[in-house]
């Protein structure tokens, strides 16, 4: 969803001092931060990607998570389109950052507004997935993303 839900349904972010921060209005930059997702939305999205990667059986493909069209679309957004980083080992797909790890490749994305943060990632080879949200963003050096990334890349 790119529009707020009904009044009172969005999580409230907070500044360093605990002052509430209203939901971000991205105006003309909808693609850069206007997605509104519940924890269930995030888990459903991850489940679709892990099922689309050939992981999990029928029990992991709930209503609407099946079919060749969805599988093709999910495969397409996992396809590398740009290489960066030292020796070009980090790739970007249309929607994910794609990094190597000791336990196989990881696909992830993180984002933050003035008062909220989110991280979503998975390892296609194993099905390990991490979804994390926070209603506080203290500063740029915050360890939220690094911690979620570490869980994804350092867990056997």
For residue 74, the domain's CATH number is 3.40.710.10
Distance CA 13, CA 20 (A): 6
Count of the separate structural domains present in the chain: 1
Domain of 45, in residue numbers: 38-154
Tens-binned pLDDT, residue by residue, of the chain (156 aa): 555 567 667 778 888 888 888 777 777 766 666 677 788 888 888 988 887 555 443 443 445 556 788 888 888 988 889 888 777 778 899 889 999 999 999 999 998 877 888 999 999 989 899 999 988 876 777 899 999 999 999 999
pTM above 0.85, yes or no: no
**12 lies in a domain?**
no
Q: Tokens in use for 24?
A: 């971000």
Phi, psi of 73 (to 5 degrees): -65, -45
**112 lies in a domain?**
yes
**14 lies in a domain?**
no
């Amino acid at each position: 969803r790119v529009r707020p839900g009904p009044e009172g349904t969005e999580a409230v972010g907070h500044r360093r001092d605990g002052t509430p921060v209203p939901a971000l209005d991205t105006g003309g930059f909808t693609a850069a931060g206007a997605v509104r997702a519940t924890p269930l939305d995030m888990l459903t999205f991850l489940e679709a990607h892990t099922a689309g990667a050939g992981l999990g059986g029928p029990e992991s493909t709930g209503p609407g998570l099946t079919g060749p069209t969805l599988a093709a679309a999910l495969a397409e957004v996992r396809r590398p389109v740009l290489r960066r980083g030292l020796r070009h080992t980090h790739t970007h797909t249309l929607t994910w950052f794609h990094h190597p790890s000791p336990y196989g490749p990881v696909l992830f994305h993180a984002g933050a507004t003035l008062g909220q943060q989110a991280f979503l990632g998975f390892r296609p080879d194993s099905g390990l997935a991490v979804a994390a949200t926070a209603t506080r963003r203290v500063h740029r050096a915050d360890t939220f993303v690094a911690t979620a990334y570490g869980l994804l890349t350092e867990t056997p």
